Chains A and B, each alone.
Chain A
Amino acid sequence: MPYVPTRYFCLIVALVTIAIAFASRLATNDYFFFAGYVVLQYVVMATAWNILGGYTGYVNFGTAGFFAIGAYSAVVMHKLFEPPLIASIVVGGFMAGLVGLGMGYLTLRLRGVFFAIATLALAIVLQTLVTNWDFVGGARGVYIIRPETGPFGHPYIQYLFVLMLALSAVAICIARAIEHSKLGYGLATIRDDELAAEAAGVPTLRLKLIATVLSGALMGMAGAPLPYYVTYLDPSSGFNLAFAVNSIAMPLIGGTSSWLGPLIGAVLLATIQQIATVTISSALNLLIVGVIMVAFVTIAPNGILGLFERGVRARRRPAEKEAA
């Protein structure tokens, strides 16, 4: 594939985003927006997870925690000021980024499975805190009244859909920009070998913190609109295990080596889940993810992208032989 400079890539993403936003006007049923919102939310989550998990090699099991920080930041904002949702998204992203920074500092020395467990513990601690915090509803949960219409007079769910679409575009642009930058090289060296990275002059600590902050902030932004989407939020839904499982499974299934993998994985898996929810039952969702993940781990450990690349290489090889 020819190399496309990041600014053109982002321009293309912006155009595609606008095209999808306009095309969605053709949808006659609000269900499309409800389902589409969830798919896009996972595009952001999977892309965010991949910045730390795929590019940097640090597996975060605490994604639900970051997501919920965004959601509960929006609840707090709503109760205090009822600001425009975009302000809550910014605040949610900021708070989750801050927690990402803290997590990065606390878990600096942890690698592999120990890091993963620490992130899981972080999510549990956060959930416990929120469960005992009455201002945001505690264990009982909190009701948020969703406005009838968005700022442009369309039904609010359409506004939520477009916001999540825009967030997806932002996340994908960030991921892609990282991939082709000095930062991307640095993160890859951390994933490959931290000692060798330091020896080559890579400030591994600083780069890890950049990755945890970026990844956490994007997850928080994805979570901020949630209260308006569900209208009733309690800790067990905000910190739902499904968020964590999905945002890990999607990049793994799509492929962790580039921005495209999480996008493919999220669209594929979230769509299957949405269909399954309607046609069979929502209880089946995690089972489906589990089965698909096991299948991929055994058959295609590098995800769909990996399968594709292998196919390209296999086709290219005979040609190389002829040339030689």
Chain B
Amino acid sequence: MSALLQVEKLGKRFGGFVALEGIDLEVTAGERVGLIGPNGSGKSTLVNCITGALRNESGTVHFDGKRLDRLPAHSRTRLGLARSFQLPKPFHSMTVAENLHVPALYTVNARHGQHLSPAQIDARVDEVLTQVGLHEKANRRPRDLTQIEMRKLELARAMTAEPKLLIADEAMAGLSHSEVDDILALLLRLNAQGVTVIMIEHIMRAVTSFSQRLVVLVAGRKIADGAPEEVVRNPEVVKAYIGE
């Protein structure tokens, strides 16, 4: 069985600045992968290239057996690739619930053989909002949310798309200890239901407890990829983190 996500020799530049170079990454269906690295190491850029928010100049991305490189971002989402944004990007003119209607209407209902009725969409949105603990705020606008709630909204919107692979880009930054545990439990539950998860996180406690495998980026290159216990002892990784 081939990988669900397969990134090969991916490279991305911003002008003369090499943000990513020669990135190879495989993620198997059902896996929980942690992606770590110092600030500015290219984690979000990699997510952007995988999901189509940015175009990579070199290398290829395959997802679920399909080549993604030339597909616009929305087609990738429909194929089952969902992500949360590190800097929350809510639809600020809509309520929290309406924010979740968008992926239900445009992603879930755009897939073959699926069509949720308005009532089913409402129910689904309710369910996701309850899962992330935003149910009380369903009819509020994003401007009424705290930063933390905004991150939950990001995650909720990605979840509503019913992805095969969910990429959470620092969904837990700024959360309290117990809130981190809540989100971890949520992601674990999703994973148990069959959703593959890539977690980008600076909170080491969270990534190491969540991930079955850790991938480390430093300055746009992958320097380690393996079992969490081994990766955190890897001298290069230790150096990158202490040197920071």
Contact = CB atoms under 8 A, between A and B. Distances in A.
- Do A and B interact? yes
Contacts of B161: 200-201
Interface string A186-202: 10110111011111111
B106 A191 contact: no
A196 B106 contact: no
B151 interface: no
Interface string B58-88: 0000000000000011100110001101000
A204 B52 CA distance: 13
B94 A192 contact: yes
A197 B103 CA distance: 9
Contacts of A189: 91, 94, 102
Q: How large is the interface on A (under 10, 10 to 19, 20 to 34, 35 or more residues)?
A: 20 to 34
Nearest to B92: A192
Given A185-B98, A189-B102, A198 B90 contact: no
Contacts of A109: none
A202 B106 contact: yes
Given A185-B98, A192-B91, A195-B53, A200 B106 contact: yes
B101 to A, nearest CB: 6
Contact of A199 (B51, B94, B105): B51
A124 interface: no
A58 to B, nearest CB: 15
B90 A200 contact: no
A182 B105 CA distance: 7
A202 B93 contact: no
Contacts of B53: 195, 198-199
B91 A199 contact: no
A295 to B, nearest CB: 24
B157 interface: yes
Given A201-B74, A204-B74, A186 B106 contact: yes
B78 A198 contact: no
Contacts of B72: 198, 203, 205
Given A185-B102, A186-B106, A192-B94, A203 B89 contact: no
Nearest to A190: B91
A185 B83 contact: no
Contacts of B102: 185-186, 189, 197, 200-202
Contacts of B107: 200-201
A198 B92 CA distance: 15
Interface string A165-198: 0000000000000000010011011011101111
Interface of A: 182, 185-186, 188-189, 191-193, 195-205, 257
Given A197-B102, A199-B83, 13 more contacts: A182-B106, A192-B92, A192-B94, A193-B92, A195-B73, A195-B89, A198-B53, A200-B74, A200-B103, A201-B78, A201-B103, A203-B106, A257-B93
Q: Closest 3 interchain pairs by CB?
A: A201-B107, A198-B73, A196-B89
